Amino acid sequence: MKTLLTEQAPGYYRHRMGDIVVTALNDGSLAKPAEILSGIDPAGAAAILRAEFRPETPVITVNAFLVQTPDLTVLIDAGCGTKMGPTVGRMAANLHAAGLDPAEIDLVLLTHPDHVNGLLTADGSPAFGHARIMAHAADAAFFLSEAAAARAPEPAKPVFAMARAALAPYGERFSTCEGGEVAPGITAVPLPGHSPGHCGFRVVGAGQSLLIWGDIVHVPDLQCRRPEVGLVFDDDPTLAAATRRQALTAAAEARELVAGMHLLFPGFAHVTAEGGAFRSVPLMWSALGAHHG
């Protein structure tokens, strides 16, 4: 009997914007019970996912994005590291497969605090020996506060602990922003609700614009159809839903390319509006990483 070949290709995909290259790095995926969703009952969620040919139990893709400019190598989010189970934590291997060493990273931008575990190696030391780390000031003030951690509900406490543990080894290499340009060609875009300082990062190059929008959606096949559906982990569910609808509407109206930490790999898409709902249209795969839209 012949041996079945089951190994997948490495999980990275390059998208070129002139002299800027954005590389999607897959970190794996997480299967979660429908009870993590808010604003919809499990049966309703299962029906939509079944219609979209998806598992009825939500599966959440996890991505990070590498932005290479002529002057800097920037990583946006750090993945799950070794802390969230065996189906995630692949970002470091895919970074290596894409031809990059962690020592080459100059700056790590964080969309929000539960994407920080990949900042550490398995032994708890910094994974990026030379990089500066940056997050939104509102998230730093909230998730690094001992008082806020003490007041947090029990399900949320691990996020506070993760953020503090992952950032502590970086010391003075950690700083904050509140929006605006954080590196040449990269602008922080506040998108609050999922966390107080949740933000995306807009990359502009060669007349193209890409918004890496963080966690605007976790289950895109469901939340594009039903933008009011959120996660029970949202810090401000009402604001998160409003921000999601605004981001989807803006992307559709501007025809701006978006990338998401939980869009299906390789994580680049356009958005179309269909009545009160939306549709995520994956970017056409290109051997040259070129965008023809």
The yes-or-no verdict on residue 293 having pLDDT over 70 is no
Report the SS3 class of residue 83: coil
Element (H, E) at 223: helix 220-223
Closest C-alpha among 164, 210, 188, 11 to residue 107: 188
**What is the C-alpha separation between 31 and 251, in angstroms, rounded?**
27
Q: Which residue type occupies 21?
A: V
pLDDT (tens digit per residue) in 62-73: 999 999 999 999
pLDDT (tens digit per residue) in 233-289: 899 999 999 999 999 999 999 999 999 999 999 999 999 998 889 999 999 998 877
**What is the C-alpha separation between 64 and 77, in angstroms, rounded?**
5
Between the alpha carbon of residue 244 and those of residues 92, 140, 217, the distances in Å are 29, 22, 7
- Cβ atoms of 210 and 267 within 8 Å: the answer is no
Closest C-alpha among 26, 93, 101, 91 to residue 68: 101
**What is the C-alpha separation between 110 and 198, in angstroms, rounded?**
9
- Largest Cα separation within the chain, whole Å, is 62
In the chain, the domains with their CATH numbers are 12-282 (3.60.15.10)
pLDDT of residue 274: 87
Which runs of consecutive H residues, i.e. helices, occur in 40-103? 42-51, 91-97
Put simply, whether the predicted model's pTM sits higher than 0.85 gets the answer yes
pLDDT of residue 156: 79
